[in-house]
Amino acid sequence: MDNKKLAKEILEKVGGESNISGLTHCATRLRFNLKDDTKAQTDALKKVDGVMGVVNKGGQYQVVIGSDVANVYRSITELTNINSEEGGAPEKDDKKVIEKLIDTLSGIFTPILPAITAAGMIKAVLSLLLAFGAVSKEGSTYQVLNFMADAAFYFLPILLASSAAKKFRCNPYLAMMLGGILLHPNFVSMVIASKESHEAIRVFMIPITNASYSSSVLPIILIVWFLSYVEPIADRISPKPIKFFTKPLISIIVTGIVGLVVIGPIGTIISNLIASGVHTLNQYASWLVPALVGTLTPLLVMTGTHYGLVPIGINNRMTIGYDTIIYPGMLGSNVAQGGAALAVAFKSKKSEIKQLASSAGITAVCGITEPALYGVNLRYKTPLYAAMLGGGVGGFIMGLLNVKNYTGGSPGFLTLPSYLGGDSLNDFYFACMGAVISVVIAFIASYILYKDPVEEVDQTVKAEEVKPEEVKPEEGKLAQANGSDITIMSPLKGIAVPLSQVNDPTFAEEILGKGIAIEPEDGRVLSPVNGTIRTIFETGHAVGLESDDGAEVLIHVGLDTVNLKGKYFSVKMKDGDKVKVGDCILEFDLEAIRKEGYDVVTPVIISNYGNFQSVEAAVSGPVTPGAPLITIR
């Protein structure tokens, strides 16, 4: 691959250098902060040779490259004047709160992951050497390798200070100095002495909390965030002739004292509360979060929001010594992705699919899942379902057994030694067992469900070719043009749009099924089929039906409207009710939902599309209830 050529194409299609306000990369993705997302040519970018996928979510425009991402990133920085260290000029910030949080966490933790991974792998190797008697804890080899690994964890505040400064747009060297203040040996000694003498440490008569900040996460992030506000003020009030001296002086004196007296202790308290919450959760439902993480991680990876979980796992290890909820769940998910892809490699009869699936599967079981996710599982859908099943079961088992991860690393078979620790080898054995179960279940399910894609002729039915009078909903019959075609009627009045335009990758990427979406113009959902209501949510935001012809139809009113908890929805029917085309299933207050800030676009999808040859839109643009919407062959 010509990385420079690929870099040029990516730059052109994200809107050019002038549209980029920040750029970082993780193990498989380029992570852009764009000033204007609408300037990016997403569809064209997805077709570029070397680009595996594009995700615009969580406040970042992410271009999935694969394991060669570092070389492409380097080529981009060589071709441009993008100052990725400082993040460029401030971009227009119209992101939602959650998007800002995810973007911030991702920007802070992504750059330090290589150091954390290296430290975790050294610890894992040491655990293996110790278990096989190759080294002893008293020997200098063990001690040297041990302090090499501990360095990344002990000086974690300094690493985080550097990456946080880039994200908060303040001086990275002043930020790292603040991290050094928290870890300075004299301060550590003063804290120890103060605890023994019960005499408080004071600065200008203000007491300082006796807190230890080695291996801490949250305190330094909050302190650097505070620095980002102090530094501009120091710049404004400093006289120009001596600004070079007074700006850093004011910044460090003010931020350092406030950090030691107020912010650091608050960060410590919050970190301990999170750890306490994790401990309580483990006591009452240790299986819950690992099972959810194991199931949903592929969807989180698609949106980039999985980086919001990384700090929780790190904080757990830094505060209580191990993590039982994030890394075990991600282990199950990652290896399950690999198992599902490998099943495709075994079953497919197409050489190009075999080659892609086998390499992506091996990479995934080692801990890097994007090639398997975007290149195989998401592309063919059924392997993704299999991976979510395997990951969920594996996460559930490891959660039930309270498996502890001690050193982190990219979750996969190569980092299984990170589960060595404690008083026995049980965590390691149970982690191996959970990982194997995840792979086996995902492999079997994927092998059963996967079918090689069939080259199909475009059979899209144009709107003008479908005459409304051909379909008579009042007769209670579905139109069948040639004796085998099934027509799904429109359940709403509105404007039909492609699923790809829905602002939710779960629908846009057709993860749940194929179909179409409607921008509704009124608040009544009518039955699109003759059949049975299989599921209707109490919240009223979604309903699942099965037609008499065997088509499973899901109607999802709006995006994230489940959060309304039934507000503005009125359900007229229940599970098991028989319906005919045109029967009213539910009503909703369209304008009230819009005023709450929710997108009301309503996907109508065929969830068992794999049972049919094709699922095609029968209309585009304006549509009325009872008119043809989807044609199934």
User: How far out from the chain centre does Cα 325 lie?
Assistant: 16
**How big is the CA angle at 130 (ends 127 and 133), to the nearest 5 degrees?**
150
Other Cβ atoms closer than 10 A to 214: 14
Taking the CA atoms of residue 357, residue 362, residue 365 and residue 369 in that order, the dihedral angle to the nearest 10 degrees is: -50
Question: Which positions ≥6 away from 159 have C-beta within 8 Å?
Answer: 112, 115, 152, 179
Closest by Cα among 143, 148, 142 to 120: 148
**86: exposed, middle or buried (C-beta count within 10 Å: 0-12, 13-18, 19+)?**
middle
Q: If DSSP codes are grouped into helix, strand and coil, which group holds residue 163?
A: helix
160 close to 179: Cβ distance less than 8 angstroms = yes
Provide the pairing of β-strand 542-547 with 552-556: antiparallel
Is there a contact between 447 and 343 (Cβ–Cβ < 8 Å)? yes
26 noted as active-site residue: yes
Question: Rounded distance, CA 230 to CA 246, Å?
Answer: 13
Q: Which two tokens stand for residue 30?
A: 């380029």
Report the DSSP beta bridge partners of residue 615.
632
Give the ranges where 1-155 is alpha helix by DSSP (H). Answer: 3-13, 42-46, 69-79, 97-109, 113-131, 140-154
- 39's CB contacts (< 8 A; 6+ apart) are 14, 15, 16, 19
Options 25, 306, 556, 584, the catalytic residue: 556
CA nearest neighbour of 543 among 564, 573, 515: 573
What does the alpha-carbon distance between residue 463 and residue 446 come to, in Å, rounded to a whole number?
A: 36
Distance CA 394, CA 398 (A): 6
Q: Which residues contact 310 (CB under 8 A, 6 or more apart)?
A: 105, 109, 113, 326
Cβ contact 345:377 at 8 Å: no
The DSSP-derived string for 104-145 is HHHHHHTTTHHHHHHHHHHHHHHHHHHHTTSS-TTSHHHHHH
Q: Which of 25, 26, 306, 541 is catalytic?
A: 26
- The token pair that represents 509 in the structure block: 């990427």
Q: Which residues pair with 569 in a beta bridge?
A: 588
The DSSP output letter for 401 is T
Give the residue among 424, 415, 328, 418 at the shortest CA–CA distance from 127: 418
- DSSP element (H, E) containing 547: strand 542-547
Ramachandran sector of residue 375 (left: φ over 0; alpha: ψ -120 to 50; beta: rest): alpha
How far is residue 253's CA from residue 251's CA, in Å, rounded to a whole number? 6
* 556: annotated active-site residue: yes
Q: Give the catalytic positions in this structure.
A: 26, 556
